[in-house]
Amino acid sequence: MPGYEVLGEEEKKEILEVLETGVLFRYGFPAQRKGRYKVQEFEQKFAEFTGRKYALAVSSGSAALKVALAALGVGFGDEVITSGFTFVATWEAILECGAVPIFCDIDDTLNLDPGELSKKITPRTKAIIPVHMLGTQARIEAIMAVADQHHIPVIEDTAQACGGFIQGKALGSFGAIGTFSFDSVKTLTTGEGGMLIMDDPELYRRSSEYHDHGHDHIGPDRGLESRSFIGFNYRMMELQGALGLAQLSKLKKMIADQMAHKNRLKKILTGIKGIRFRELVDPDGDTATFLAFSLPDENKTRALKDLGKKLWLGLVYFYENGWHYYRNWEHLLLQKTACRNGWPFQVENNIRNLTYPQDLLTRTDKRMACLLVLPINVRMDEEVFKKTEQLVVEANRI
C-alpha cells in the first residue's frame, strides 16, 4: 500500500533540486527559484493524470475535504451526507465547517449505497461525500444520478483510491470536486499532503484562495491586491511537491505490483469455504491496496480473525476499528468537542437536537461484523503467501 516502500533516487533528485534553490514556499521568489515550481508542476501533472482541468495541492487529505466544502459554500445549518465506513477526517471536515454529518449505509462495494442515499436527503443537504474506501470504487455513477436529480454537489473522497478508475475515468473526476490524501501510508505519498481536482474555474478560484488565507488568485501568480473572503493556510510546500512528482511517476507500477499480489492472495483465499469477496465496480480500475472478504457469520469471522493473529497475518477487523467505523466513534456519538460551549454540536438554544445513536446503521453493522481485510503492499514477503495458505488450511478445520 504505501509509496514509502519505493522511495529512492527519483525522490532524492527532485528534493535536491528544491534544496539547491533554497525556496521552500510554493509561491513567489522568481529570481531565486531557477524556474522550479514543484507544487505547481505536481498539480499540472496530477490534473493531466486524472483528466480534470484543475488540481490544487494542499497540506493533507483532511484539508482537501475542508477546502472543497468551503469552496462549495457549505457552512452552518447545512447537512452533508457521507457513509458510516470512512476515516474520521471525512466527517471531521464537515463539522469543521459548522455543518452536520448525516450517515448513510454502505452496500456490497463497502461504499455509500446509492439506494439508501435519497432517504437521507433533506432541504438542508448541501453536499454528498461518497468515499472510495480501501482503494476501490463506490457506485459513483448511480450516486451522481441521485445527486444530480436533487441538484446537490458531490465531493468524492478519493483519499484511499488515488490511481483508481471506472472504465478508464479517474476516481475523483465524477463529482464536482475530488479530494485525495498523500499521507505517509498512502500509495502515492508526500509524507503529509493532499489534492483537489475539478473542472469548474470558479470552484478552483474559490478553493485556491480559501487555502491561501483568502488572497486573491486572479493573475498568473498569487495576487496581493485584496481578499474576497476569509480563508486559512492549507498550502503544500515545495519539498512535498517534489516528492509528489517522483511518486506520481511510479504510481502505475506500484498499482500493477499490488494487483499481482492481490490476485495471488485472492486465489489462495478462495479455498476458504463460504468466503465472499467484496464487489468491485470495475476490477481493472482497482488500486489493489486491500483485499476485503466476508465470511457467512460473525462467529466464523471472529474465529478467522483470531487464526490470522495466531499466524501473525495482519488481518484487519474494521468492525472493531476506532478510526474507520461509525459505531466506534465514541467522541462523535457523545458529541464531545474541544470547544467549551459545545460548538459545533451545541448552538444557542440547542436548536440542532443532533443524535448519533450507535445502532443507526444496522445494515452496515451486519456487513462489517463479517468483514476481514488483508492490506496489500507494493513489496510483499513470500512469508505472507505461505501464512495465507496456512490460514486456509486451518480455517477449513473450524
Ligand X SMILES: Cc1ncc(COP(=O)(O)O)c(C=O)c1O
Distance CA 121, CA 146 (A): 10
Distance CA 266, CA 21 (A): 48
27 contact partners, CB below 8 Å, separation of at least 6 = 212, 221, 222
Residue 275 cell numbers, joined? 468466503
257 interacts with ligand X by CB under 6 A? no
Task: Report, in Å, the least distance between residue 197 CB and ligand X.
Answer: 15
| CB closer to ligand X out of 88 and 259 | 88
| CB closer to ligand X out of 65 and 307 | 65
207 interacts with ligand X by CB under 6 A? no
Residue 372's DSSP bridge partners are: 293
Q: Which stretch binds ligand X (CB under 6 A): 29-37, 39-47, 57-65, 327-335?
A: 57-65
| CB closer to ligand X out of 159 and 380 | 159
Among 82, 86, 173, 240, binds ligand X (CB under 6 A): 86
Q: Which stretch binds ligand X (CB under 6 A): 58-66, 120-128, 270-278, 332-340?
A: 58-66
Q: Which stretch binds ligand X (CB under 6 A): 60-68, 74-82, 306-314, 365-373?
A: 60-68
62 interacts with ligand X by CB under 6 A? yes
153 interacts with ligand X by CB under 6 A? no
Among 6, 89, 94, 140, binds ligand X (CB under 6 A): 89
DSSP 131: B
Residue 116 cell numbers, joined? 439508501
Task: Report, in Å, the least distance between residue 79 CB and ligand X.
Answer: 19
Distance CA 170, CA 312 (A): 35
Of the candidates 194, 201, 202, 153, the residue with the CA atom closest to the CA atom of residue 65: 194
Distance CA 296, CA 132 (A): 24
Of these residues, 38, 66, 126, 186, which one is catalytic?
186
388 interacts with ligand X by CB under 6 A? no
Task: Report, in Å, the least distance between residue 323 CB and ligand X.
Answer: 8
Distance CA 238, CA 41 (A): 10
| Amino acid, res. 161 | A
285 interacts with ligand X by CB under 6 A? no
159 interacts with ligand X by CB under 6 A? yes
Distance CA 87, CA 100 (A): 16
Task: Report, in Å, the least distance between residue 194 CB and ligand X.
Answer: 5
User: DSSP assignment of 348-394, as one string?
Assistant: GGGTT-----TTS-HHHHHHHHTEEEEE--SS--HHHHHHHHHHHHH
Among 105, 157, 209, 365, binds ligand X (CB under 6 A): 157
How many residues does the structure list for the chain? 398
- Residues 301-340, mask of contacts with ligand X (x by CB under 6 A): ----------------------------------------
Could you tell me the end-to-end alpha-carbon distance of the chain, in angstroms, rounded to an integer? 30
CA angle 264, 367, 297 (to 5 degrees): 80
| CB closer to ligand X out of 5 and 17 | 5
160 interacts with ligand X by CB under 6 A? yes
User: Has 186 been annotated as catalytic?
Assistant: yes
**Bridging pattern class, strands 79-83 and 100-104:** parallel
Residue 165's DSSP bridge partners are: 170
181 interacts with ligand X by CB under 6 A? yes
Question: Do residues 396 and 300 make contact, with C-beta atoms less than 8 angstroms apart?
Answer: no
- Please tell me the count of residues contacting ligand X according to CB under 6 A: 14
CA atoms within 13 A on the CB side of 189: 17
Q: Which stretch binds ligand X (CB under 6 A): 20-28, 81-89, 312-320, 327-335?
A: 81-89
156 interacts with ligand X by CB under 6 A? no
Question: Do residues 294 and 301 make contact, with C-beta atoms less than 8 angstroms apart?
Answer: yes
Shortest-Cβ-distance residue relative to ligand X? 61
Among 49, 87, 290, 317, binds ligand X (CB under 6 A): 87
Task: Report, in Å, the least distance between residue 311 CB and ligand X.
Answer: 27
CA angle 159, 162, 165 (to 5 degrees): 125
Among 194, 241, 308, 375, binds ligand X (CB under 6 A): 194
The C-alpha torsion from 86 through 91 and 93 to 97, rounded to 10°, is 160
User: Which parts of this chain interact with ligand X (CB under 6 A)?
Assistant: 60-62, 86-87, 89-90, 131, 157, 159-160, 181, 183, 194
Catalytic residues: 186
